[in-house]
Structure 1
Amino acid sequence: MKKFLLAVCISGIAISANAQTKAVAKKPVAKKTIATSKTLPGTIALKSGLDSTSYAFGTSMGTSLKSTGLSTLNYEALLKGLKDAFAGGKVALTQQQAQQCINDAITRASAVKTMAENEANKIKFAPMIKEGQEFLEENKKRAGVQTTASGLQYEVLTAGTGVKPTATDSVLVHYKGTLLNGKQFDSSYDRGEPISFPLNRVIPGWTEGVQLMPAGSKYKFFIPYHLAYGERGAGADIPPYSALIFEVELLKVNGK
């Protein structure tokens, strides 16, 4: 953490210095004396280069820590920790204890931040969530479509007679994936070769659905967002909260 914050600050200082150098080279002007005293209303007077550097380190550290989701700290304790570290004497926490405190705080802050982002996304993508729910509600009424307890829907296009895989098996499949609007985002058919993967390392809808398939089958899966890529989506092609449609052909169960 210390190395990271130091790197951020040094990088910022280097960029700033480089920008100033370019500005001087671009338009030569008479060298001006930089004021050594700058008072920020209600905060602190920066009376020397050391003051400015110290303040710069503080703002750099604060910005970096805030980006993790932390909203506040005990600033007196923070300052005390800095002083103790520079003094090189006895500190209140061992390195292991300090690292554990940092890890716990960032984990909690990150969880809160993620929850807030998810709630904001639910509002932003409410129309997409509604579209998926309405589609699945109507789709399950179609003849031939079956719905599992989890909400996964599937349709048998070709019934195979081979062995069914388990969650720990690796399988060889051909597949095509589309959004509800028909936009294709992936296809092994287009790449000209099937793909092999372990069933316990894909989205939940695949893990559950492919286990229903005897080898030689071809199924069509209608996967609600919580069994697909969830609140995050995947890359630029699969937005958050997307319900997905896959056509999957199980060519072979490779084994565990």
Structure 2
Amino acid sequence: MQKIGKIVVVAAAALSLAACGQDAKTEPASAPPTAAPTSDAAAPATQSKGRECTADDIKTTGKFGEKPEITIPADCDPPKKLITKDLSEGTGNPAKTGQQLKMNYLLVTWSDKKVLDNSYDRGETFDLNLGAGEVIPGWDQGLAGIKQGGRRLLIIPPDLAYGEGGRGIKPNETLVFVTDAVTVPGNQG
């Protein structure tokens, strides 16, 4: 009986770890306290397509507040620098370092072009203190200046994301987010 109890505890712990990205109260895969350092040695050998993608190459659907879809093309390479593009402007004061933001997001990984995580399905925003290192550097940098009601595309290279991988992210993975600024302090409504 004691042996069965141990197996149940181990199985429950494994299920808890596997489901951590699904719990609305846990940090999503998009928001680690810090990013892991990068290593070119772990980078997969891929043939260059001859050009880096731009924000205009990434196709998105949906309006602010709606779960978006992201389509990453196969005919260009992931960008090596952070790219941001406002898909809708929003109104009011722009977000500044030190402010507590409430965001919705959808994450697609570049290598397999699949949705890895999103807050829309959970029905709860993701809260962060902008610039405090609570999230990957690509979010702290890429969300600066977003306005309440704004939707922004973020294309985040590995050195501003998870570097060598972790939290369900492959090593040297480029991340593509559509983010909605639900609340930016200093704005009414």
TM-score class, shorter-chain normalisation, is: 0.5 to 0.7
**For residue 157 of structure 1, what is the aligned residue in structure 2?**
87
User: Is the Cα–Cα contact under 8 Å of residues 172 and 254 in structure 1 kept in the other structure?
Assistant: no
User: Deviation at 1:198?
Assistant: 0.9
For 1:118-129, what aligned pairs fall within 5 Å after superposition?
Answer: 122-127=40-45
Cα deviation, 1:145-168, whole Å, max 9, x if unaligned, reads xxxxx9211222111112111121
Work out the CA distance in 2 between the residues paired with 1:243 and 1:136.
Answer: 15
SS in 1 for 2:149: coil
User: Deviation at 1:126?
Assistant: 3.2
**For residue 148 of structure 2, what is the aligned residue in structure 1?**
215
Segments of structure 1 that go 5 or more residues without pairing to the other structure are 1-113, 145-149
For 1:170-189, what aligned pairs fall within 5 Å after superposition?
Answer: 170-180=100-110, 181-189=112-120
**For residue 22 of structure 2, what is the aligned residue in structure 1?**
none
One-letter amino acid matched to 1:192: G
Work out the CA distance in 1 between the residues paired with 2:177 and 2:53.
Answer: 17
Match 1:250 to one of 173, 181, 188: 181
TM-score normalized by the length of structure 2: 0.58
**For residue 239 of structure 1, what is the aligned residue in structure 2?**
170
Work out the CA distance in 2 between the residues paired with 1:135 and 1:223.
Answer: 20
User: Is the Cα–Cα contact under 8 Å of residues 96 and 145 in structure 2 kept in the other structure?
Assistant: no
Work out the CA distance in 2 between the residues paired with 1:208 and 1:222.
Answer: 11
Q: Which has the higher contact order (CA 8 A, sep 6+)?
A: 2
Q: Which has the higher strand share?
A: 2
**For residue 169 of structure 1, what is the aligned residue in structure 2?**
99
**For residue 137 of structure 1, what is the aligned residue in structure 2?**
52
Work out the CA distance in 2 between the residues paired with 1:143 and 1:238.
Answer: 20
One-letter amino acid matched to 2:114: K
CA RMSD in angstroms comes to: 3.1
Identity %: 29
User: Deviation at 1:216?
Assistant: 1.1
Instruction: Point out the structure with max Rg over C-alpha.
Output: 1
One-letter amino acid matched to 1:214: K
User: Is the Cα–Cα contact under 8 Å of residues 101 and 181 in structure 2 kept in the other structure?
Assistant: yes
SS in 1 for 2:94: coil
SS in 1 for 2:120: helix
User: Is the Cα–Cα contact under 8 Å of residues 172 and 250 in structure 1 kept in the other structure?
Assistant: yes
Runs of 4+ in structure 1 over 6 Å off: none
One-letter amino acid matched to 2:85: E
One-letter amino acid matched to 2:125: P
- Inter-CA distance 126–182: structure 2 relative to 1 (3 Å threshold): closer
Cα deviation, 1:95-136, whole Å, max 9, x if unaligned, reads xxxxxxxxxxxxxxxxxxx99xx75xx3342336x77xx698
Question: Alignment length, in residue pairs?
Answer: 128
User: Deviation at 1:206?
Assistant: 0.5
- Inter-CA distance 136–207: structure 2 relative to 1 (3 Å threshold): farther
Segments of structure 2 that go 5 or more residues without pairing to the other structure are 1-35, 60-79
